[in-house]
């Protein structure tokens, strides 16, 4: 992170904040400022493009280069249209599950994973707030089959080796009535993108 005027502003989903900070620290990157949008925007992906546009314009007004740490994230290409209009670039991939896994590795398992519900470290940590309460399952457990009836398993993409997060992810799978699989991904393409 920078103390003066940033040369680069990273515009990221709040779900990536901890991971981005860890990568910045590992790589010793300077002149970088991280600005996050609320993770809850994933429940309303139609709002992501314009929220990102506002952050891009703010960064440019400050004389900084904006880099966007979002996949398409359900915007149906609207985020990429905003980035083209604003002259900004983003990390490649449809969502963070793909860039944490690595795009090539994710593509190899995509067909097998079509019935998988993914958790990252963030989602394992925030499962109750984002998924359980966020989707109303705490008040209406009968919605479980509506939301998760076509899923067969929870795939936990672990960025860190944290037994507590693994336990939380396993508990999420149990509560959803799904099988559990853990895959260690580290920071995947996120680390490579920031290094470049």
pLDDT digits (tens, 9 = 90+) for 22-31: 999 988 878 8
Question: Which residues lie closer than 8 Å to 88 by C-beta, 6 or more apart?
Answer: 56, 66, 67, 68
What's the pLDDT tens digit per position in 67-83? Answer: 999 999 999 999 999 99
Domain ranges of the chain: 8-90, 102-184
- C-alpha radius of gyration, the chain, whole number: 17
Instruction: Report the alpha-carbon distance of residue 157 to residue 115 in Å, rounded.
Output: 15
Average pLDDT, rounded, for the chain: 92
> pTM here?
0.85
Residue 177 is predicted with a pLDDT of 96
Q: In degrees rounded to 5, what are phi and psi of residue 57?
A: -65, -40
> Could you give the strand order of the β-sheet that contains 65-69, starting from the edge strand earlier in sequence?
32-37, 8-13, 65-69, 89-90
Give the H or E element holding residue 156.
strand 153-158
């Amino acid at each position: 992170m920078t103390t003066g005027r940033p040369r680069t502003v990273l515009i990221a989903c709040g779900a990536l904040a901890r991971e981005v900070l860890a990568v910045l620290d590992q790589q010793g990157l300077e002149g970088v400022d991280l600005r996050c949008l609320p993770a809850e925007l994933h429940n309303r992906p139609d709002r992501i493009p314009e929220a990102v546009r506002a952050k891009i314009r703010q960064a440019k007004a400050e004389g900084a280069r904006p880099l966007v740490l979002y996949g398409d994230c359900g915007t149906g290409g609207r985020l990429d249209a905003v980035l083209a209009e604003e002259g900004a670039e983003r990390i490649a991939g449809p969502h963070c599950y793909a860039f944490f896994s690595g795009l090539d590795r994710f593509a190899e398992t995509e067909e097998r994973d079509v019935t998988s519900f993914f958790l990252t470290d963030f989602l394992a940590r925030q499962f109750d707030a984002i998924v359980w309460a966020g989707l109303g399952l705490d008040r209406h457990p009968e919605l479980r089959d509506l939301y998760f009836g076509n899923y067969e398993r929870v795939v936990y993409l672990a960025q860190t080796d944290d037994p507590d997060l693994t336990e939380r992810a396993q508990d999420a799978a149990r509560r959803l009535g799904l099988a559990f699989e853990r895959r260690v991904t580290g920071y995947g393409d996120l680390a490579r993108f920031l290094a470049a």
